[in-house]
C-alpha cells in the first residue's frame, strides 16, 4: 500500500509539473499571449482629441502575467515591447539651449536602443510613440516672426538628433508623435510651424502618425534605408494621419475665420510640391480635427491632391458622441455652435470637390467619414448626394463610407512608380 501511495503521489507530482502553464508548448503559450494582447492605446485613441491618454492603457493583462513568474516574464517581454512609448523631456541643465537639448535627446535615444538591443527586444517593436510633456522647443524661435531659426543658424534640429538613432535599430510599422505644435514640427522632420495665433486655440497637443504594411509578429525587415536622417525618409511609409485637435475656442474670437491654427500642414504641402518621395509613396491620408475652419481644411486637401498614389482618404471633423464635447458648456464657452456646423458643411463641400478631382486625376477609390453618425440629418444628406456619382462610380457601401471602381490612372501611377515626371 505504501508503495502504491508513493507511486500515486509521485504520479500526481509529475502531473502537477506537467500542468504548469510555462511547461505548455510554446505555440500554446503564444496563443494565450495573443488572446491577452490588444491594440495599442495610440491606435485605439488616435482619432480622439490629442491628450496624454494616447499613451495610457486602461488594462494591463500582459504586464500582470509577466509578474507571475520568471518563466512568464521571459515569455511576455517580446509582447510587452511590441508597443514602445518614449517620453522626451528637456534636460534641466540645458537652460533652453537648442544644440544641447538636441544632444540630450540623441543621448537618451541611444540609451533606449541599447536597452532594447541588449535584451534582443528591438526586432519585436511594431509601434513607437514619441511624446513630450512640455514644449521642448521653448526658446528656439525668433520671438518677432515666431518661426524656427535652427536651420538658418546651422544648428542641429530635434529630428536630426532623434530619428537617425532610433531608426538605425528599430523598424516599427507605425510611428506616432504627440507634442505641442512647435515641438511636433521639430520632432517630425524639422518643419516650420507658425504660432502667431496659438493663443486663440484650445489644443495644446497635436499628433501625427506614419505607418506602413504590418509585418508578421516577430519578423524584422532588414531592407531599410540606413542612410536616412529624417523620419519621412527612413522607411517606405504608406499612410499619413494628422490630428490637429480642437478649433472650438477660436470661434469665440472676433473674425475667427482669419485665425491660423499652428499646423504642420503648410510645410508638408511645400515639401510635397518639391517632389519628396515620402508623398509619392503614400496610399492613405487621414485628417482629424474638431470643427476645423474651411481654409484650414483646404490646406490639407491641397496636400492630398498632390499625393498621386493616394487611394484612401478619411476624415473626422466633428467630436465623437462619446466625448460629450457638444454639451460641455465650459469648453463651448461663448462660441456659437451654428458657426461650427456651418464651417463643417462648407468643409465637406470642399471635400466633395476634392474627391471628384482626385478620382479623375489621381487614384482615389475610397472615402470614409468617421464622424458621419454624429451629424444632423440635413448635413448627412449634403454628403450623401454630393459624393454619390454614377459618372465616376462613387456609391455608398455603409453609413459614412463610399467607394468607386473607377479605373486607375495607369499612366500617372507608372510615372510615379518609376520616378518620372
Query: In the predicted model, what is the mean pLDDT of residues 36-47?
Result: 85
Instruction: Please report the pLDDT score of residue 418 as a whole number.
Output: 39
In the prediction, which pLDDT does 92 show?
Answer: 55
pLDDT at 4 over 80: no
State the pTM of this model. 0.83
8 Å CB contact between 243 and 289: yes
N-terminal to C-terminal alpha carbon distance within the chain: 91
Separation between Cα atoms, residue 355 and residue 342, nearest integer Å: 20
d(CA 208, CA 262): 13
Report the Cα 305 to chain-centroid distance in Å. 20
CB 186 within 8 A of CB 267: no
Kindly state the cell numbers that stand for 286.
487621414
- Strand 366-369 with 395-398, pairing: unpaired
Nearest to 318 by CA among 48, 95, 57, 116: 48
- Give the model confidence (pLDDT) of 306-317 as tens digits: 999 999 999 999
Cα-atom radius of gyration of the chain, to the nearest Å?
25
pLDDT, averaged across the chain: 81
Average pLDDT rounded to a whole number, residues 177-197: 88
Return the pLDDT at 416. Answer: 40
Indicate if the alpha-carbon torsion angle 89, 93, 96, 97 is positive or negative.
Answer: negative
Q: What is the pLDDT of residues 101-145, one digit of tens each?
A: 777 788 889 999 999 999 899 989 999 999 987 776 643 433 333
Q: What are phi and psi of 351, to 5 degrees?
A: -60, -40
Core vs surface per residue 327-363: b (16+ CB within 10 A) or e: eeeebbeebeeeebbebbbebbebbbebbbebbeebb
pLDDT digits (tens, 9 = 90+) for 246-294: 999 999 999 999 999 999 999 999 989 887 899 999 999 999 999 999 9
Average pLDDT score over residue span 387-412: 79
Instruction: Please tell me the least confidently modeled range out of 174-183, 194-203, 212-221.
Output: 212-221
Kindly give the interhelix angle for 265-273 and 294-305, rounded to the nearest 10 degrees: 30
Count of Cβ atoms closer than 10 Å to residue 31 Cβ: 12
Q: What is the DSSP secondary-structure string of 393-404?
A: TBEEEETTEEE-
Q: By three-state DSSP, how is residue 406 classified?
A: coil
β-bridge mates for residue 208, sequence order = 177, 242
Mean pLDDT (whole number) for 171-188: 92
Q: Sign of the C-alpha dihedral, residues 374, 382, 308, 292?
A: negative
Residue 220, pLDDT score:
52
Amino acid at each position: 500500500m505504501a508503495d502504491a501511495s508513493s507511486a500515486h503521489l509521485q504520479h500526481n507530482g509529475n502531473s502537477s509539473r506537467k500542468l504548469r502553464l510555462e511547461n505548455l508548448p510554446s505555440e500554446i503559450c503564444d496563443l494565450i499571449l495573443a488572446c491577452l494582447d490588444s491594440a495599442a492605446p495610440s491606435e485605439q485613441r488616435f482619432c480622439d482629441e490629442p491628450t496624454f491618454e494616447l499613451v495610457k492603457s486602461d488594462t494591463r493583462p500582459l504586464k500582470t502575467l509577466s509578474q507571475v513568474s520568471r518563466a512568464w516574464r521571459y515569455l511576455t517581454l517580446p509582447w510587452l515591447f511590441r508597443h514602445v512609448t518614449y517620453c522626451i523631456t528637456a534636460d534641466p541643465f540645458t537652460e533652453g539651449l537648442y544644440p544641447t537639448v538636441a544632444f540630450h535627446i540623441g543621448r537618451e535615444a541611444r540609451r533606449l536602443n541599447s536597452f532594447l538591443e541588449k535584451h534582443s527586444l528591438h526586432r519585436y517593436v511594431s509601434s513607437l510613440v514619441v511624446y513630450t510633456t512640455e514644449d521642448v522647443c521653448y526658446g528656439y524661435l525668433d520671438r518677432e516672426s515666431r518661426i524656427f531659426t535652427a536651420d538658418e543658424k546651422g544648428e542641429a534640429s530635434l529630428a536630426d538628433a532623434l530619428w537617425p538613432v532610433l531608426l538605425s535599430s528599430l523598424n516599427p510599422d507605425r510611428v506616432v508623435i504627440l507634442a505641442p505644435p512647435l515641438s511636433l514640427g521639430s520632432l517630425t522632420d524639422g518643419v516650420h510651424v507658425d504660432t502667431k495665433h496659438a493663443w486663440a486655440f484650445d489644443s495644446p497637443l497635436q499628433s501625427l502618425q506614419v505607418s506602413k504594411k504590418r509585418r508578421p509578429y516577430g519578423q524584422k525587415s532588414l531592407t531599410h534605408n540606413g542612410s536616412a536622417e529624417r523620419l519621412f525618409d527612413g522607411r517606405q511609409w504608406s499612410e499619413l494621419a494628422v490630428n490637429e485637435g480642437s478649433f472650438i475656442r477660436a470661434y469665440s474670437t472676433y473674425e475667427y475665420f482669419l485665425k491660423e491654427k499652428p499646423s504642420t500642414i503648410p510645410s508638408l504641402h511645400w515639401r510635397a510640391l518639391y517632389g519628396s518621395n515620402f508623398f509619392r509613396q503614400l496610399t492613405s491620408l487621414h485628417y482629424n480635427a474638431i470643427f476645423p475652419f474651411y481654409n484650414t481644411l483646404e490646406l490639407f486637401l491641397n496636400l492630398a491632391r498632390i499625393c498621386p498614389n493616394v487611394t484612401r482618404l478619411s476624415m473626422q471633423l466633428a467630436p465623437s458622441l462619446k466625448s460629450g464635447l457638444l454639451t460641455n458648456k465650459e469648453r463651448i464657452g461663448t462660441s456659437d455652435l451654428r458657426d461650427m456646423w456651418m464651417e463643417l458643411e462648407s468643409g465637406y463641400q470642399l471635400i466633395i470637390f476634392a474627391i471628384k478631382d482626385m478620382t479623375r486625376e489621381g487614384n482615389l477609390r475610397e472615402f470614409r467619414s468617421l464622424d458621419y453618425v454624429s451629424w444632423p440629418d440635413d448635413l448627412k444628406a449634403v454628403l450623401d448626394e454630393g459624393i454619390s456619382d454614377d459618372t465616376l462610380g462613387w456609391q455608398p457601401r455603409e453609413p459614412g463610407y463610399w467607394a468607386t471602381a473607377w479605373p486607375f490612372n495607369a499612366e500617372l501611377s507608372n510615372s510615379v512608380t518609376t520616378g518620372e515626371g
